[in-house]
Structure 1
Amino acid sequence: MGSDDQDRERSSVVQLLPVVAPRKLAKVPFVEMADGRLQGVVSSGSDIARVYVSSISAREHGLSCSTNNNRPCGGHSGGYACKHLQSLLAEAVLQYGIHRVARFLGVDVPEDGDILARLHTSGASTEAAVVFSRFLRHLSYLEQPGSAAPVPELHWFPAAGAQV
């Protein structure tokens, strides 16, 4: 192993994948592929104070959508994807790219770009509080004051301009 490889292993700097296209953060402020699910927070179209936690499980394609306090989404019914789930999937494709999202969900990349049509959906339950807590944690990082000094909790964040 060369010295560059050893330096890279000791570094807390990670390589980031560039965003495929700009996202509408007001509509879907948080999207991630974690815990075996494509999951995130989607703003309500009718109430500015309400958000929905939506998820699609990888492989099984179980759909879940509820408010952050576990009230079910009125537009979600079992295997039917409500507008929140559709928005989540669309923003995930912008964030990660269609090939990566399709691979994560375990489907072939469709020529027409409609991943949702490839899913064999079913109803599922996801604890919205867990995903919503991750979103709030994500927001707390944005509130950190600017500083050149190291912040131990953020040691894993990529350094600005770091070459990997």
Structure 2
Amino acid sequence: MSDWEKSSTARVLPPARPRKLAKVPFVELADGRLQGVVSSGSDIGRVYVSSVEAGSYTFACSTNNNRPCGGARGMFCNHILAMINEAVLQYGAARVARYLKVEPEELTGQDIAGEMSRGRPTQGDSGAAATVFSQFLRHLAYLELAPTTVPLPEMQWFPPTRAVV
């Protein structure tokens, strides 16, 4: 057993490749879904909350005001495609494909989306969107905190970092 497996902290994996946060500021593999927040191309005050369920590929996309995305009618909209591509940058294609149960694992973001083409849009379930958007807002709140070296209780699960002197 390695040292990090014996510790009480989680190992933080660096992104597979650097990504720009302007279009997809939040993406995660959680709750059996690939989920994230995608910026609107036409309105700076609007974001879309998108998700794709692992295995069934059931998908949903709606605005932060819970209005359905006009492009997600029977197939993935551009917001979901952007989210998949950013997830591949963040986690790597193999990990995203494994999590979503897409075969084979050596795919690009577009290949993963193509393999999931049998997915169907969800009908009226805004619970997932509310959860994803809530997590995104919680992450944004950390950006507003003043820089400090005092530990934050809700961040105690992060591994300690060494101060650069």
Give the TM-score normalised by the residue count of structure 2. Answer: 0.86
Name 1:151's counterpart in structure 2.
152
Q: Give the whole-Å Cα distance in 1 for the aligned partners of 2:104 and 2:28.
A: 19
Q: Give the whole-Å Cα distance in 2 for the aligned partners of 1:50 and 1:91.
A: 19
Q: How many residue pairs align between the two structures?
A: 157
Matched, 1:54 2:55: no
Q: Percent identity?
A: 56
- Gaps of at least 5 residues in structure 1 are none
Matched-pair contact (CA < 8 Å) for 2:62–2:68: yes
Name 1:91's counterpart in structure 2.
86
SS at match of 1:122: coil
1:23-53 C-alpha deviation (Å, 9 max, x unpaired)? 1201000000111110000000111110000
Q: Give the whole-Å Cα distance in 2 for the aligned partners of 1:140 and 1:23.
A: 21
1:85-126 C-alpha deviation (Å, 9 max, x unpaired)? 000000000000000000000011365521011112111244
Amino acid at match of 1:138: H
Name 1:40's counterpart in structure 2.
36
Q: Give the whole-Å Cα distance in 2 for the aligned partners of 1:100 and 1:25.
A: 20
Matched, 1:130 2:127: no
Name 1:116's counterpart in structure 2.
113
Q: Give the whole-Å Cα distance in 2 for the aligned partners of 1:86 and 1:108.
A: 18
Matched-pair contact (CA < 8 Å) for 1:110–1:118: no
Per chain length, whose mean CA-contact separation is higher, i.e. which structure has more relative contact order (CA < 8 Å, sep 6+)?
A: 1
* Distance of aligned partners of 1:126 and 1:100 in 2 relative to their CA distance in 1, 3 Å threshold: farther
Q: Give the whole-Å Cα distance in 2 for the aligned partners of 1:92 and 1:161.
A: 28
Matched-pair contact (CA < 8 Å) for 1:22–1:95: yes
* Distance of aligned partners of 1:91 and 1:97 in 2 relative to their CA distance in 1, 3 Å threshold: same
Amino acid at match of 2:94: H
Give the TM-score normalised by the residue count of structure 1. Answer: 0.87
Offset of 1:129 from its aligned partner? 1.7
Matched-pair contact (CA < 8 Å) for 1:69–1:129: no
- Gaps of at least 5 residues in structure 2 are none
